[in-house]
Chains A and B, each alone.
Chain A
Amino acid sequence: MTENIISLQGVTKEFETRNGKVVALKDINLDIAPGDAYGIIGLSGAGKSTLVRTINLLEQPTEGKVIFDGSLLTGLNSRELNLHRRKISMIFQQFNLLMQRDAIGNICFPLEIAGVPKSEARAKAEELLKVVDLEDRAHSYPSQLSGGQKQRVAIARALASDPDVILCDEATSALDPKTTRSILKLLKKINEERGITLVVITHEMDVIRQICTKVAVIENGEIVERGDVGEVFAKPKSKAARRLFFPDGRDRETAVGRTSTRNRVRLVFDESNAYKPIIANMITELGAPVNFFYADLDVLGNKQKGQMVICLSEDRAMAEKQKEYLRRERVEVTELTDDIDDLLQEEGEA
């Protein structure tokens, strides 16, 4: 019995390029427990796609160990590796379906590879089409399906080999927001009902918020932060995590860009206080107003989480009192001033 379904130990990946050596992954240590919905988030070029490909050894790590379900994958011959790979399915941003096979043919494909008898494979594929709500498209070819439908076929295909893990490589990045939500819902259902471990690679915080319970933040080939999604979201320690989790783009501009005040704070509420009128009470009790810049409420993992950016009183002493009040109410308070300006500046330079 092993504790972790996936364990990466000291995984380093270097690429030889014309311009010399590029280190894509630096000494990655990552443990994923069975049943986890583990998110790996980072900006493009951070190394997340390379990271997920070392798990099934589509990328051979230059150094380090990859352990899957107690077996050391690094160092296996291709025959043995292929047997393990059947238990690690993968879905892709571009779906990667066989264009010359219809939906059911695509779902049968991994079974065919594993040598499952044809009739058995077909029965199973039909079953899986129901799971992904595509019974009526069994004989449609990928070119006749929408993006969301293609990803559903890909998910059914991923389920065909009864995997322990599904690796999702930017699985929703090519889809519109509505389709994204339905695909994520399906993945979450699979994770919860079948206990299949998910490893979710994404650059979108929303994806992490909707299905993951744990998250690792990767930047420049290194994991800079990790933990429960709620925890990391409420108290991001690394710059990369703050950049990803704090209100971004347009929101951040309204939140911070138009004001020169130095006493902005980010507040994170959880279930215990998300529904209480804390701010309103604070204003009446302390008799000093605050300015609102940004607010949003979301389900994170299985919990409600809200975040807000407000501007505290101009008066220093009063601002301190307000922070104290908020902390007493168990609101997570982060001062934004320098940090966010740094971030904005960095992004302006980049």
Chain B
Amino acid sequence: MDTHTLVSLLWEGTLQTLYMTLVATLVSYLIGLPVGVSLIVTGPNGIRPVGIYNKIMGFIVNVVRSVPFLILMIACMPYIRKIIGTGIGTSATTAALIIAAWPFVARMVEQSLLEVDPGVIEAAQAMGASNMQIVLKVLLLEARPSLMNGAAVATITILGYSAMAGTLGGGGLGDIAIRYGHYRFQPTIMWITIVVLVILVQIMQEIGIKAAAKLDNRIS
């Protein structure tokens, strides 16, 4: 393979990986953020405890999280194929990533919101804030730095999942590593994909840490 082909192959793989990761993270947050908030709000010490909902939703989250990503992806493939028409490639992988990642995101969000001082929530209640105002103006805003850190961790985890999906023809850098590095015995390509993945993770981690610090006003 000449250098030009190699570079364009890797470039395309990187873009696919980024596309899958970012779209899947975004959609996972669209689902996982409200679910995480609802778990906190309806929890036993929440501002509006609803035991049944909390137990059922907590159970669903736990079950989905218990299944290893590759197994979950294989199990979901027939359904994904039915719905979006294909079982391989970036779209199918993105769908599988969302199915696997939203419960993870929900738990991350729940953990971040747990860090908010209950006294501050009590103060807002004493002021006559509605539950919605407490969620929007207290919980989410006070937990902002922690949510940001969580988002970085979630993005990196989803990036890792997307690379695994490569073994099932999922597209992206993982796909390249398997097809060229493994099946065609091209260790150079294998190592290049690894380096690119490491760089991507480093960049995401850095962005996460910087953004969290910038959003945090608890400086002294």
Contacts and interface: CB of A to CB of B under 8 A. Distances in A.
Interface string B111-138: 0000001011011111111110100011
Interface residues on A, range: 20 to 34
Given A56-B126, A90-B123, A113 B218 contact: no
Contact of B125 (A58, A84, A98, A144): A58
A82 B119 contact: no
B137 A141 contact: no
Interface residues of B, number: 25
A85 B127 contact: yes
B127 A110 contact: yes
A102 interface: yes
Contacts, number: 83
Interface in A82-115: 82-86, 88-90, 92, 94, 96-102, 109-110, 112-114
B110 interface: no
A113 B126 contact: no
Contact of B141 (A78, A100, A102): A100
A104 to B, nearest CB: 13
Contact of A98 (B120, B128, B130, B220): B120
Interface in B199-220: 215-220
B35 to A, nearest CB: 23
Contacts of B107: none
Nearest to B121: A96
A119 B96 CA distance: 48
Contact of A85 (B126, B144, B219): B126
B127 A92 contact: no
Interface of A: 56, 58, 78-79, 81-86, 88-90, 92, 94, 96-102, 109-110, 112-114, 141-144, 161, 167
Interface of B: 117, 119-120, 122-131, 133, 137-138, 141-142, 144, 215-220
Given A94-B117, A98-B138, A112-B137, 19 more contacts: A78-B131, A86-B128, A89-B127, A94-B119, A96-B117, A98-B120, A99-B120, A99-B217, A101-B141, A109-B124, A109-B127, A109-B137, A113-B124, A113-B127, A113-B130, A113-B137, A141-B218, A143-B218, A143-B220
